[in-house]
Every structure is written in C-alpha cells, then in structure tokens.
Amino acid sequence: MLQPLLHDLVSTVMAPASALSGPDGQIRQAGVQGLFRADRRVLSLARLLVDGREPEAVGHAFAGAGRTRFVSLARWLGDPTADPTVRLDRMRELGPYGMDEHIEIVSTASGPVTATVTVELACDFAAIDDVKSGRTAVLPAAPRPPATTGPTAVAALAGEGRLSWRSEGTQVTVTGHGAGTRAGARACLTWEVTLPPRGRTTLSWSLAVHDAAAVVVPATGPLEWSEPRVTADDRRIARLLDQALADLRSLRLAEPAAPGDTFLGAGVPWFLTLFGRDSIWAARMLLPLGTRLAAGTLRVLARRQGERLDPHTGEAPGKIMHELRRNAFTLGEQDRRLPAAYYGTIDATPLWISLLHDAWRWGMPHAEVQALLPALQAALGWLAEHADPDGDGFVEYIDVGGRGLANQGWKDSGDAVRFHHGGQAEPPIALAEVQGYAHRAALDGAALLDAFGMPGAARWREYAETLAERFRAAFWVDGAQGRFPALALDRDKRPVDALTSNIGHLLGTGLLSRKESAEIAALLTAPGMAEGFGLRTMSSGDGGFSPLSYHCGSIWPHDTAIVLAGLAREGFDAEAAALAEGLLAAAESFGYRLPELYAGDARERVGRPMAYPAACRPQAWSAAAALTIAHAALGLYPDVPEERVLLRPLSGAALGALTVGGLRVGEHEVEVNVAHDGSATVSGLPDGMRLVHAEAAATR
C-alpha cells in the first residue's frame, strides 16, 4: 500500500480541522481527500452536482485563514453562446468545530434558469494513520486489529434538512439550509433552483463535529503574535509573510485542559497535533512578533515532560515529548506502532531549553520564566543522566523497544542517516546538529540558572566546553569538497561522512570556531548543496542523494531558514542572502504557501521547484520560515534582561530596502528600517534600552 499523494490537492485549514479536496473543490472518496478533525476523517465525500453533472472547474483562491473559494461553470445552462452564463462560486470556510459552504449561483443569461443542485455526502471515520498508509478503515475501539478496507458509515435523518453520523463517541451533523435530504451510506442534500434573467441565489450547508475524545482543541483568546507591517523592495517578502501568517493563524491549537496555552500544530494533514520539535522551532522563529506563543508552547510541553523510564514510549525523566495522538499511530509497516503519547525524539529537550532562553531574551515576563525553572532543571537533568546512554560524551539515540522511530532527529525517516557511499548507519546514532543543540542548551541553561540565582551554571559551561572539544576530535572529516563535520557517528563511533544540511544547524550554537564556521558556510552554499531553490538536505555528490528523497536530497524551507539565520548571525551575509533568495523564488512558484519540502533539482535543470508529492501544506515551520527571512535581513537581536539590543542587518541591504513594523521587544512594539544603502534604524524601543550597532559590538 502506498501513501496517498498531496501535491495536487487544495487544503483549507482551521485547526484542529482541515479539508482536502481537488482543485475544483470536490471532495471525492479517494486517497486523502476529506474533512479531518483531531486525527479522524469526519467527511469522506462532498461532491457538488448540478442536474446530476459536475460543474467544470475554472480555478480556486485562498480567501484568508480557513477560507477557500472555488469557481466553476455550468455551461449547459443559460444562453447558448461561447461565453458561459452560469457560474458557481463555492466558498468553503472552516471553523474549529466544523465547516460551512456557501454556493453562490450567478446567471447572466437572458432567460430564466432552472436546475437541481445536489451535494453528495459520506463519512467513514477513518483514522489518520490508516489514510496515510493507504488504508481506509472505520476506527474501532483500541487496540485496533489489522486494518482492512472499511465500510462507509450510514447517515441518519436528524430532523428537517439534517443528517447525522455517529461512531465511537464522535457525532457529525450536517444541516442543509432549505434543502431536501436523503439518508444512507451515500447521503445527499438537494435544492431546486430557479433563477430569473440575470439572477443569483446562495445555497448553504454546514457541518458540525462533537468529539469528546479529541486530545487537541482550538486555541482561544486573541492572536498570540503581532501583525507585522511590511514595506519591501522585493514584493515577494510581503506576499510570503501575508500567506505564511494566515496559515500560522489557522494552525493554532491547545489542549482541552488548558485552552489558553497555544501551540502550533505541525502540519496538514498528517501532523495537525502537538509535535515537540516542530512546535518549538515554529515558536522560536516567531519570537520577533512576541513571546506569547513561545510561552504557551513551553508550558504545554512542560506539563507533559517525562517522569519515568519507559522503553516502549521513549519516555525518560525530564525529556520533552515528540508527538501526541488520540490513539496509537501505525507507521507504514505494521510492526512500527507509536504510542499515543510518544517521546522518541533526541532533540526536542535541548531545543525546549533554548526556546525558554530565547523567549527570556526577547522579553518573556520574568514570572512566566521563573515558573518554568523546575522544568528547565528537569530538562538539564535529562541531558546529564539520560541523553548519553553509552557514556561516550555525545547525545545519541536508539529505539530500544524496536517499534518506534528508527531515527529520532528531525530527519526521522528510516534511511535518513547515510554514509558518503550511500550505506545506512546502524544505531545508536549521535547526530551532528544534536551536539550543537546540546552545546547551546548547556550555555542557555547556565545563563538562566545564573540570572535566577540558581546553582549549577559552572557545571553546564564546563559541559559545553568539553563537548566542543570532543566534537572537534571525533566528527570532522575530509571529503572531496573539503573539510566538514560528519552527519553523525554510528554505533562503532565511525563518522557518517555524507555532506548534509545538518551541519548548518551548528552555526550560532557556539560549538564552532570562526574558521570552522567559515568552512561550513562555504560548503553549504556551493553548487552541490545550494544549486536549487534553497539548501539541499544532502549533497548531490553523495551516494544516497536523490532530489525526491524525503531527507537525502530534497529541500526543506525550515531547514534552509535555520541555516540562513545561523549564517546571518555569524556574519556570512552573502551566503545567507543566497539561501533567502532560493526560498523566495520557491515561494513564488508555490503561490507563496511554502510546502513541507520540495524536490532538490538544480535550477538549470527544471527552472522552477518541483513538488514533493507527499508534502504537507501548510506546515508550521515552513510557514514560520518566512519570518526568519525577514528577521535575518533586519538583524534585530534583543536582550531585554540586559536592556540591550544588537542591530546587525545583512550588509548592503542584501534583500533590498525593507521596513517591518509591529515587531515586539518585551511589551513594546518596534519598527526596523533597512535603507537602500544598508543603513538601519530602530524606532519604538523602550526607555533605557541600549541600541548597539554591529560595528560597535565587534570592537567590544
């Protein structure tokens, strides 16, 4: 069974609900099409017919967060002319508890138009992992037996114009306003329509879901980040930010017991739930717009922080979890089954520590940071006691239970960790970027311990220093293109010598010397890694490379954004600008909604980026990458506790003149302007905040 493809589908999202349809707006009983909510498909068919025929699609357009317009024609109706005279505008709008559709029928015909309009409906209550694996099954009580093709649920009449479906505590109710109804496995709503000459009418139906077992719910309260105001020479920046922030608005989630603590669901359709690593990175990228999202994400993950050792779930004391589901999640193979609350991630814990630190620097309120210090100490305890199971001084992972994820870094596919010749590494695996995360987390943890008068900071600074020395001795290899850190160490402590994007995550962690950073910057922006639309996950010179490999040759926007942010922070401006240009070019090609990933073909070969056919869209960290591009260009780096702001924009206005208002430093709204000549100014900083320009900082 093959995973269904996504690249030619249209997604409309308002978390925890998402609708996937064809470009014509039709939801058909095929692949991953349907309306999903909290890991279940609550509508598997929504097909619009006019006189028993499907209208002919013209196009579609996103109409804001949770809204999509689909335009089609009924050319057999109206005047017998070359120009169509009957048009249908199908506006789909998702809310947190369901979906509404408004079908506007407009006639410009000279005579009356009469038609029967039908919406066919079905519901199968399929589990998201069954859909992802190419299976379709009604969700039975856990534990589930091996999945087989399951029947469609039968709709019952629920009153005038109403239909309902029920399964395992979930109820779906459809109301057709003014419609006739037919129940059964394939239900329908029907309207008889008569339009006068040049007339119009609007038909409406709505779907509501009641699901008491959902583990995620809509976020409540106002938006957690500010709305930036952008003026840019390069208009792609503003267009990308507009679409990205609309998508991020639609991905906001919370847990039922704490609806006020918002986090971002990772992506549509497979990952619209809490993911430690993804939610942390997205919140970190959005810090220039405020700390509220980071604070909510930190608290949600702290409440689920590990308390005991459990090889089945991957839980360990102090560890930050990987993902949360309503049921155990079956991977492609039946012997791989993740528990509903799964901790199989090696990097979420150090990333959590650094998110807390960065949010504190951006101005997260003192009391909120202080409340999370016990979770910080527990996370540092995991780093000290459980992150290095074989005692070699490196952070590593192995799936002890044998049924979880084989790879537990951000490149978590089974074949992601490969040698230069293409062979796969055997666990336990110590990933390069995870050593950088651990180094940064140790220094960040030390800074927080010192600031809040807690003991242990010296221990963590010594840990970071020792880790850097070990890394320098064990990871660096000589390749055909030069010297660089290996992707990982395998079980025999051999360097996994493929050239990959992972090493770009080391920039800005403090693990590297200036010379080492320069070597990495040069290699990552050379043709083998960056001749496409962003940064490849693996060099085209490596044996495992394929432009359509999930983690060995494709391009991930968030990965490219993390690396370009590190390049900018360390002063490799031209290299950072080149990667930013690649993402902007890709964004233009994808209608400014960057997907989870896309193919790593060279530009000269394809001219535009090719879709990765199973990529999620929207994806939280891909959308958040838009802000990282703008932030790197502006170069605003605050330290609110020290009452200091560093300003270091990309030199020479590398992305053109750019002004962004609505940024937040603490509780204050600020604006940064980068002029055509590269000079930069900041307005709106709080009284007493000292502004330090990059040139002055370099001499300190």
For residue 136, pLDDT beyond 70: no
Alpha-carbon gap, residue 647 to 283, rounded angstroms: 22
Q: Which phi and psi (to 5°) does residue 318 adopt?
A: 85, -5
Q: DSSP string covering 494-525, please?
A: -EE---BGGGGGGTTTT-S-HHHHHHHHHHHT
Q: Band of the pLDDT at 457, cuts 50, 70, 90?
A: very high
Measuring CA to CA, which residue among 103, 105, 115 is closest to residue 51? 115
Q: How far are the Cα atoms of 431, 596, 674 from residue 632, in angstroms, in the given order?
A: 26, 21, 12
User: What pLDDT is attached to residue 334?
Assistant: 54
The pLDDT tens digits of the residues spanning 270-318 come to 999 999 999 999 999 999 999 999 999 999 999 999 999 999 999 999 9
259 pLDDT tier (thresholds 50, 70, 90): very high
Kindly report, residue by residue over 8-41, the tens digit of the pLDDT.
Answer: 999 999 999 999 999 999 999 999 999 999 999 9
Length of the chain: 700
Beta strands in 1-44 (DSSP E): 10-14, 17-21, 34-37, 40-43
Measured CA distances, 561 to 77, 117, 289 (Å)? 50, 47, 17
**Positions of E strands within 552-627:** none
Mean pLDDT of the chain: 94
For residues 510 and 52, give the distance between their C-alpha atoms in angstroms, rounded to a whole number. Answer: 65
Q: What is the pLDDT of residue 147?
A: 33
pLDDT at residue 150 is higher than 90: no
Q: Which of 120, 186, 177, 129 is nearest to 153 (CA)?
A: 186
HEC string of 228-244 equals CEEEECCHHHHHHHHHH
Per domain, the residue ranges of the chain are: 10-211, 388-406+414-521, 525-627, 644-698
Quick one: tokens of 162? 């109403």
- Residue 132 in contact with residue 161, Cβ under 8 Å? no
Cα distances (angstroms) measured from residue 31 to each of 1, 21, 130, 208, 209: 11, 10, 11, 23, 22
CATH of 10-211, one of 3.30.565.10, 3.40.50.11740, 2.70.98.10, 3.30.70.20: 2.70.98.10
Contact 539, 470 (CB under 8 A): no
List of long-range contacts for 591-594, beta carbons under 8 Å, 24+ apart: 591/62, 591/243, 592/236, 592/239, 592/240, 592/242, 592/243, 592/244, 593/62, 593/243, 593/244, 593/247, 593/617, 593/618, 593/623, 594/240, 594/244, 594/557, 594/619, 594/622, 594/623, 594/625, 594/626
